[in-house]
Amino acid sequence: MFEGFDMSKLGGMIEEAQKKAKEMEEKSSSLSFTAKSGGGMVSATVSGKFEVLDVSIDDSLLEDKESLQILLMSALNDAIKSAVENQKNEAMSMLGGFNPFAKNG
């Protein structure tokens, strides 16, 4: 089952994976993702760590609580989805070079 797997390289591969994970975390904390709803009447920005950084609401929505709630949820959900997609893409690219079964020379 583990034919061609060089166990002596396992420690180095784990260290490399940990290093890449830390780099990915640092990079994602500096990113932000913004989404708009209601034709731009509401916008929300979240960080790569899924923290809400900013919310902008058009004054005309302040009298319509139900619409405001719907548009705010939509903008937040879309911004979070963008951050999650980015995290998935970063993880996949990080794992792309990780092949413990690669044969030597």
Which amino acid is residue 88, in one-letter code? K
Q: Which CATH class is domain 32-96?
A: alpha beta
Biggest CA-to-CA distance, the chain = 70
Q: Could you give the C-alpha distances from 103 to 54, 66, 69, 100, in angstroms and in order?
A: 49, 60, 56, 9
CB atoms within 10 A of CB 104: 6
Say what percent of the chain tops pLDDT 70.
Answer: 84
pLDDT in tens, 9-33: 777 777 877 787 787 777 777 899 9
pTM: 0.69
Q: Decide: 33 and 82 in contact? Cβ < 8 Å.
A: yes
CA nearest to 83, candidates 43, 52, 55? 52
Domain coordinates in residue numbering, the chain:
32-96
